[in-house]
Amino acid sequence: MKNVLLFLTAAAVLSGAALAAPVRLQTVPVTVEPNARLLTLNDAGIAKVFPSAAGRPNAVFLTEDRKVSVALEWREGRLAPAEVQGLVNQFPAVIRSQVPNVKSLKAGLVQMGGTSWAQFVFTTPGQGDDVRRELLVTSLQGRTLVMTIAGKVGDYSRNEAIIRNLANSVRLN
């Protein structure tokens, strides 16, 4: 997981405010309805924040204050729709083994846009405030689609309505 603070340094490579109309993403067969209060990181910005191509998201949205990010990554790893439920029980152990100092962790299955997503919400200690990360994982054309929402707990709370609207607007094409 990348440091949330890296997103703050990407302000110079933002492509501007996203449109409020549904947008079909170019690199992922997904349509989203970004809010005018969200910024979209362009390809150069994504490459700067995620210098290694391994694990680089396909799309990144930022809140206006640049404090909370929503990243979409369509991974090569195989995942069948029937396997999403199983992640809810299996993946918390992976998170705890790979992420140091997990303070809290919730796992569950949620429905968004008619699709089942495994949801993992966890916090870790941060400077001045805990860091909140939410991983949403589903199957898309037999591959793994991951939506990662990251920011400090207080920043997330201030931006929650905008972030939830974006997450709930994701439609698999």
Kindly report the pTM of this predicted structure. 0.87
Which strand ranges, in their side-by-side order, compose the sheet holding 23-24?
23-24, 30-32, 171-172
Number of domains in the chain: 1
Which domain, by its residues, includes 25? 4-172
Using the predicted structure, report yes or no on whether residue 5 has a pLDDT greater than 90: no
What average pLDDT is seen over the chain? 88
Chain segment 83-134, per-residue pLDDT in tens: 999 999 999 999 999 999 999 999 999 999 889 999 999 999 999 999 999 9
Closest CA to 31 of 129, 112, 152, 137: 112
CB contact set of 7 (below 8 Å; sequence gap of 6+): 41, 49, 60, 62, 66, 69, 150
DSSP three-state, residue 93: helix
What's the CATH number where 141 sits?
Answer: 3.40.1000.10
